[in-house]
Amino acid sequence: MTARSLFRWSPDSRAVVYVDTRGDVSNLWRLPLDGGAPAQITDFKSDHINFFAYSRDGKQLALSRRNQTRDALMISEEK
């Protein structure tokens, strides 16, 4: 988990759900409070997760994602 990670309590309050970004890909993970191993919730192959939240009844998960584009541009004067 990085310093910029987003995290929330799971709907059952038995785990912390967090965003883990590796390379240029973000996924959600669930870390049980009883000391169990983290479990991956999503399996995205690209893009970053900006935000996520559970519905009030805890049965649905909403999230927003973004694509990070990097460009380099060189402008030169023609002679």
Convert the pLDDT of each residue in 31-41 to its tens digit.
999 999 999 99
Residue spans per domain, the chain: 7-65
69 or 41, greater pLDDT: 41
Integer distance in angstroms from the first to the last C-alpha of the chain? Answer: 52
Distance CA 21, CA 38 (A): 14
Convert the pLDDT of each residue in 1-20 to its tens digit.
443 558 999 999 999 999 99
Provide the whole-model pTM.
0.77
Convert the pLDDT of each residue in 40-58 to its tens digit.
999 999 999 999 999 999 9
